[in-house]
Amino acid sequence: MPKPSPARPSLVGELDAAVREVEPRIVAIRHHLHRYPELSNREFRTAELIARHLRELDIEVRERIAHTGVLGILRGRRPGPVVAVRADMDALPVTEETDLPYRSTERAIVDGQEVGVMHACGHDVHMAVALGLATVLAPRRDRLAGTVLFVFQPCEEGAPAGETGGAWLMLNEGVFDEIRPSAIFGLHTDSEMPVGTVGYTPGPTNASSDNFRIRLVGRSAHAAWPHLGVDPIVMGAQAVLALQTIRSRTLSPYEPSVISVTKFHGGVRDNIGPDEVVLEGTVRLFDEAVRDRVEQRFHEILDGIARAAGGQYELEYIRRNPVNVNDEALLARMMPSLEAAVGRENVHQKLPWMAAEDFGWFAREVPALFLHLGTLAPGTTSGNHHTPTFRADDSAIAVGMRLLGRMVVDYVEQA
């Protein structure tokens, strides 16, 4: 490994003091972002705030990537590699139930229904950490090696019906075409980890995410004479149980996976057998090759059930996010930086998350490292991610800035 340049110790040594200096301003920005959240592909005010802040730091800004995405380009004055930092921007259709003074009261219409809007997954913290890092590094660009890309990504939680978005669309629109990073870093809040701790997972760290929609078609009949029809309710019940055999009898017991049927719709009256039922759900896996086998088994199982009953089936199997994979060589290289930033005793290996993360699209393009940032303050409680009582403590923001700051500076200086 190349020896650090003489400038490295002074820049790294300034990080803690610089983070303390900007922390109050960045926490205030986080409060604003939390109070005024926006849903996927609708992050208009959020993008405007981010772009304005970056321009105030004299960072080159490119906007409207993948609808509302923002790219900040901080060019150091010393030669070095390009490294990217990603922060997601969107909130969720969840009505907040915390007692935070900056809690969200925003509302929106989703699928014709009015809902609350909340940063119930910590994306406001992610943005604050990235903006804080930009605020720390920009005044020190004379001593910064290489280039840092600040990727503010919309639509991580999934595009509204009929739309596309997220990391895939940013890449498809060429976010890395002109300036391609040699590595990308990302963080995710973790409501079960104490503030000051960091989690990592070698290799696959988030599951892939597939959606399915099954239409089972039968023939309506009076409920008193079901033999005169083809009952799709029974077909659907058989399908719910049979699909679970993919996990228990098709896949290896050492292959983590989840198949969940989350919707089952059919019928309008208690004495009329319906013509059809619709089932929907999700599949989570950690091996891209296994996805082909699972989709094949969906068809085989549904075809058998439908044929046996005298009905028909239709299957839409939609592959959304790929497996999010940490580059193990990059993790090993950055481990000293993690331990220096938060202390070796505060760095913990974690099991992979079944929750998907479209950071995985970036990880397909360049070596990637995606970490868990502890956000649970002592003496407090938090609901799980995507729930009305989720909360992330402000003190985690400075930890995230120190962590990413140390990783970025070490990476560009050691190249």
The answer as to whether 307 is a domain residue is yes
pTM of the model: 0.93
Question: Is the same domain home to 127 and 202?
Answer: yes
The answer as to whether 47 is a domain residue is yes
Angle at alpha carbon of residue 166, lines to 53 and 124, rounded to 5° = 45
Query: What would the two tokens of residue 266 be?
Result: 């059919």
Number of domains in the chain: 2
pLDDT at 10: 66
Question: Is the same domain home to 32 and 172?
Answer: yes
What is the CATH classification number for the domain harbouring 82? 3.40.630.10
Question: Is the same domain home to 202 and 213?
Answer: no
Label each residue of the chain as H, E or C. Answer: CCCCCCHHHHHHHHHHHHHHHHHHHHHHHHHHHHHCCCCCCCCHHHHHHHHHHHHHCCCEEEEEECCCEEEEEEECCEEEEEEEEEEECCCECCCCCCCCCCCCCCEEEECCEEEECECCCCHHHHHHHHHHHHHHHHHHHHHCEEEEEEEEECCCCCCCCCCCCCHHHHHHCCCCCCCCCCEEEEEEEEEEEECCCEEECCEEEEECEEEEEEEEECECEECCCHHHCECHHHHHHHHHHHHHHHHHHHCCCCCCEEEEEEEEEECCCCCEECCEEEEEEEEEECCHHHHHHHHHHHHHHHHHHHHHHCCEEEEEEEEEECCEEECHHHHHHHHHHHHHHHCHHHEEECCCEEEECCHHHHHHHCCEEEEEEEEECCCCCCCCCCCCCCCCCCHHHHHHHHHHHHHHHHHHHHC
The answer as to whether 376 is a domain residue is yes
The answer as to whether 257 is a domain residue is yes
Question: Is the same domain home to 290 and 365?
Answer: no
Question: Is the same domain home to 134 and 217?
Answer: no
Question: Is the same domain home to 217 and 282?
Answer: yes
The answer as to whether 26 is a domain residue is yes
What is the residue type of 98?
A: T
Question: Is the same domain home to 26 and 166?
Answer: yes
Question: Is the same domain home to 198 and 297?
Answer: no
Question: Is the same domain home to 182 and 245?
Answer: no
The answer as to whether 2 is a domain residue is no
Question: Is the same domain home to 163 and 224?
Answer: no
Which among 371, 378, 411 has a CA at the least distance from the CA of 125? 371
d(CA 271, CA 393): 53
pLDDT at 7: 41
Q: What is the CA radius of gyration of the chain?
A: 24
pLDDT at 8: 46
> What does the chain come to in residues?
415
Walk along the chain (415 residues) and give the pLDDT tens digit of each residue.
Answer: 444 444 445 688 899 999 999 999 999 999 999 999 999 999 999 999 999 999 999 999 999 999 999 999 999 999 999 999 999 999 999 999 999 999 999 999 998 999 999 999 999 999 999 999 999 999 999 999 999 999 999 999 999 989 999 999 999 999 999 999 999 999 999 999 999 999 999 999 999 999 999 999 999 999 999 999 999 999 999 999 999 999 999 999 999 999 999 999 999 999 999 999 999 999 999 998 899 999 999 999 999 999 999 999 999 999 999 999 999 999 999 999 999 999 999 999 999 999 999 999 999 999 999 999 999 999 999 999 999 999 999 999 999 999 999 999 999 998 7
Q: CA 120, 31, 343, 81 torsion: positive or negative?
A: positive
Q: Which domain holds residue 279?
A: 209-320
**Among 287, 304, 320, where does a domain finish?**
320
pLDDT at 5: 45
**Among 281, 305, 320, where does a domain finish?**
320
The answer as to whether 1 is a domain residue is no
The answer as to whether 153 is a domain residue is yes
Question: Is the same domain home to 182 and 299?
Answer: no
Question: Is the same domain home to 257 and 176?
Answer: no
**Among 320, 343, 376, where does a domain finish?**
320
